Amino acid sequence: MEVQEQITEQEAVFKPLLRPTQKAKIIEFVGPPGAGKTSNCYCYTALLRNIGYKVLTLNDIKTHIRRLGKMQRTQLLAKTLLLHLPKVVSYSLTLVFNRIFSINSILRYLRIAAFDTALHQIIKAKKYDFVLLEQWMIQELWSATIFRLKSYDRIEKQLHRYYLKTDQLLYFDIDMETASVRITNRTSKLSRFDRMDPQRRVRKLKQYNQYLYNLYQYARCPDKRVISTNNTPEENAAHFLQQLT
């Protein structure tokens, strides 16, 4: 059933109470693979749009960049480098200091930074109420550094310097056994965890999940919330809607 069809009568009562925000609220989703970040983002987006909010998603940002001409993309990259060069240099030194430097890690950082530059260009040109990001900088830094150190006690305290500013962080909590089953059943096979056998996958998820949660904890975002994946994405979206009133 479509998410929009699942709005209950109780949720409909909230419609006249809701008011557009003065500026876009940027919400970053964090959680281990299989936690349902993408599914929840889809449900949040559908529900908010259905009641009149203007929502920008990561896919919208990617589509915007794909539609840019060659000159516009060059300008976007140049602006990204200008804005983020000091942090890129510092991030590179942090990776060198921890002996895990790689060009791929830097490119991944620049990729999200370019998305962030495009994001702010978009919301400056057009009014949005919410920006929902299911794969943003915290998730990217985690993904770029796992499988490379015996201990993350030091680097997890350093990486918060390279986070991008967001207004709210949502951490999707899930047990690793359930996450592994979900990874097995999903159609996309882009993650390294997708290519592991179930036993090794559970072991690696348990090994690196605390590191991801600690990265979330070290964020200086003033509004951080843990979301239970025992609820369905539709239920989480409905609860999010209630908190807006």
Per residue in 72-107, pLDDT tens?
999 999 999 999 999 999 999 999 999 999 999 999
- The per-residue pLDDT for 190 is 72
Please check whether residue 239 lies inside any domain of the structure. yes
Q: Is the pLDDT of residue 149 over 80?
A: yes
Provide the number of structural domains found in the chain: 1
Q: Say if CB 147 and CB 38 are below 8 A apart.
A: no
Bigger pLDDT: 6 or 46? 46
Q: Is the pLDDT of residue 4 over 80?
A: no
Q: Taking residues 143-169, report their average pLDDT.
A: 95
Please check whether residue 127 lies inside any domain of the structure. yes
Please check whether residue 11 lies inside any domain of the structure. no
- The per-residue pLDDT for 51 is 94
Q: Taking residues 138-148, report their average pLDDT.
A: 95
Please check whether residue 2 lies inside any domain of the structure. no
DSSP string over 42-106: HHHHHHHHHTT--EEEHHHHHHHHHTS-HHHHHHHHHHHHHHHHHHHHHHHHHHHHTT---HHHH
| Band of residue 1 on the pLDDT scale cut at 50, 70, 90 | very low
Please check whether residue 170 lies inside any domain of the structure. yes
For residue 169, what are the domain limits? 26-243
- The per-residue pLDDT for 22 is 60
Indicate the residue type of 143.
Answer: S
pTM to 2 decimals? Answer: 0.87
| Band of residue 192 on the pLDDT scale cut at 50, 70, 90 | confident
CATH number of the domain bearing residue 66: 3.40.50.300
Please check whether residue 12 lies inside any domain of the structure. no
- Give the count of beta carbons closer than 10 Å to the beta carbon of residue 73: 15
